[in-house]
Each structure stands twice: as C-alpha cells, then as structure tokens.
Amino acid sequence: MRIELSYYRYMIRMLVTGGLGFIGSNFVRLTLKERPEYEITVIDNMTYAGNPRTLDDIKDSITFVKADITDLEIIEKLVQDNDIIVHFAAESHNDNSLEDAWPFINTNIIGTFRILEAVKKYEKRLHHISTDEVYGDLELDDPNKFSEKTPYNPSSPYSSTKASSDLLVRAWVRSFGIKATISNCSNNYGPYQHVEKFIPRQITNILNNEKPKLYGSGENVRDWIHVDDHNSAVHLIIDKGKIGETYMIGANGEKSNKEVLSLILSFMNKKPGFYEHINDRKGHDLRYAIDATKLRTDLGWAPRYTNFEEGLKDTISWYENNRVWWEEDKKTTEIRYSKIEK
C-alpha cells in the first residue's frame, strides 16, 4: 500500500482522534480504501469503547498512538506532526453520562480545548465531529427539522458537553482564525458499533436469546444514517467545506425505536412480541430529524445507503459473524445496565 503511494507528489498527514471507536474506525477504513493520499495516525486512549480488535486487520497501514487527547505534550506533538486533524474522540453514550458526567466533561470539553490550542499554535486544519443532539429534540409532529440555524438546546450531560465543544470550536475560529469546520450528524448504524448502543444491543440480545429492551413507550424517533454515509460527508467537508462553517449530516432516515426493533425481530426470525419495555431514560429526547440541504446543495453530497432495511440486514449479519469482537463487551455492558434498569 505505502509503495503504491509514492505515485502521489506528497502525502497528507491526517490525525484521527478516537480512531478505534465506531465511527472513527469506519472512517479510517473508508479513507484507506478510497483516499490513498492520506497517511493516517490514530490517537485513542482505548477506553471501554475502544476495542483493541477493531483495527487489528489494518494495523500495518496506519500508525496507532495509545494516548489521551487531554495529554498536552502528546497532543501538541501529534498536531504539529500532521496536516489535518479529524476529531472523533469523545465519550459518546447518553446513558453513561447520566451515571457519571466527569469523563464527558474531561474528554469532550477539555480534550477538545487541548486540540484547539494545538491547532491554533501550529496553524493546522481541523474538522470537528459533532452530533444533532446539541439541538435538543423535536415534537413528533413538528414539520421543522434541525438545521445549521437551529439554536442549541442540549438535554443530557453528553449532549451538553458536545454542545460546549462545538462552541469552543466556533470561538477559536472567530477569535483566533483557526481553520476549522464542524459537522453535526444524526444516529449512525453499521459494523463495529459498541453493544451498549440501541441497534447492536438488541441484535446481540437476540443472538444471546435475551429479550430486546425498549426504553419507555418506544415511540422516540431517531434519524438513522449508515456510518459510511456519515464518513463520506466528512471527507467532502474536508475537501470542499468552507472554513468556519457548520454542516448538518443526515439521510432522511427517521424511524421510531419500535419500528427499528420490529425490523430487527423480523429479520432475525423472532416473534413480534419478543421484547420488553423497561424504565425510560432520564430526560429522554423524543425526536431527532436532520435537514441536510446545505450539505447536499453546497457540497453535492448524497448518501450511498438509501435502503435502511438492507443496511440493517448487513449490520445484523456483521454481528452474527463477529461474536469474538463483541462477546466480552456484551458481558460488561449488560452488568452495567442491570444496575440501572428495572
């Protein structure tokens, strides 16, 4: 791989933070496959969400640094050594943030601050990955969707730390002129997602012959997008996005949790009633929906995975075929959930 790359006049050195996680690792894979001009370094401190098996098969094609993004010395050195920083690293799970918010404040706010200071010092390009959750939630019948102009109104400790990190990025752009863009994406699905999250949790419950667990009424709506579509949009923003701008990423994939669960049950040959309702998440956001007009119109983006059912079937197959990847995490995750769920 590296030898073929000598065809390029020069390589672009890309630092991917959180590259061992769900979206970051899929980004690394997509980049190796489709964008050989990038030389990738991953920084990840391997929290419970960074599964060491995730990058095993491609470890020789990247440089991996096990370190914390809050570590000033290391982050300065890595930012200095790279041309562009794509910042995925975060504590990402709402339920965990309701139990202990500190890791979220530390990684999502302080970690982003460290990156911003280094980006400012060495004048590097930054793309900051964020979430639609910074905008709060919508009523089920609200005709409006989240757009770049929607005011911030986060609900959980997780989303408020992501909102904080976005605001820091905006302030560093305005006050110090750093070259940064931000994207706010909706719920991702696909391979390598931690089993604490909704879709993998229900699939792996069924594979373990346990009933799926639906919070509250199950009527909450999420706007699903395949992880590769999220990441193709990130590449486009890096290529063509306007410095200082925010781009919403979404693929018109609104579905209630109940609808997604029924699909999973039917694809896995289970009876429609094979699940249980459990107590609701505190402050549970009702609905997310993204208006990605700016990304589509200004940058010409379109999703490749337009059939959610097919993408979901592929995701189910991936978990069926990769038990070794998730089995250990499943045990610890369900122990964690059993302490908080009734």
Q: Which residues are catalytic?
A: 132-133, 158
**In the complex with ligand DAU, which residue's Cβ is closer, 64 or 104?**
104
> Between 29 and 68, how does the x/- string for binding to ligand NAD read (CB under 6 A)?
--------------xxxxx-xx-----------------x
Structure tokens at 254: 């609104």
> Between 99 and 118, how does the x/- string for binding to ligand NAD read (CB under 6 A)?
--------x---x-------
Residue among 189, 78, 46 at smallest CA distance from 55: 46
89 binds, among ligand DAU, ligand NAD, none (CB under 5 to 8 A by kind): ligand NAD
Q: For the chain, what is the radius of gyration of the CA atoms?
A: 19
Which residues ranging from 26 to 55 are in contact with ligand DAU (CB under 6 A)?
none
Which one of residues 120, 213, 226, 235 is an interface residue with ligand DAU (CB under 6 A)?
Answer: 213
- The residues near 226 (Cβ < 8 Å, ≥ 6 apart) are 188, 189, 190, 251, 303, 304, 305, 311
47 binds, among ligand NAD, ligand DAU, none (CB under 5 to 8 A by kind): ligand NAD
Residues 84 and 34: their CA atoms lie apart, in Å, by 17
Residues 278 and 206: their CA atoms lie apart, in Å, by 16
The total of other beta-carbon atoms located within 10 Å of residue 274's CB is 16
* Of 138-146, 215-223, 230-238, 309-317: span binding ligand DAU (CB under 6 A): 215-223
Residue number of the CB atom closest to ligand NAD? 21
DSSP 114-175: HHHHHHHHHT-EEEEEEEGGGG----TT-S--B-TTSPP---SHHHHHHHHHHHHHHHHHHH
109 binds, among ligand DAU, ligand NAD, none (CB under 5 to 8 A by kind): none
The distance of closest approach from Cβ of residue 218 to ligand DAU in the complex, given in angstroms and rounded to an integer, is 6
Residue number of the CB atom closest to ligand DAU? 131
Which residues ranging from 122 to 141 are in contact with ligand NAD (CB under 6 A)?
129, 131
Which residues ranging from 230 to 289 are in contact with ligand DAU (CB under 6 A)?
257, 281, 288
CB 268 within 8 A of CB 206: yes
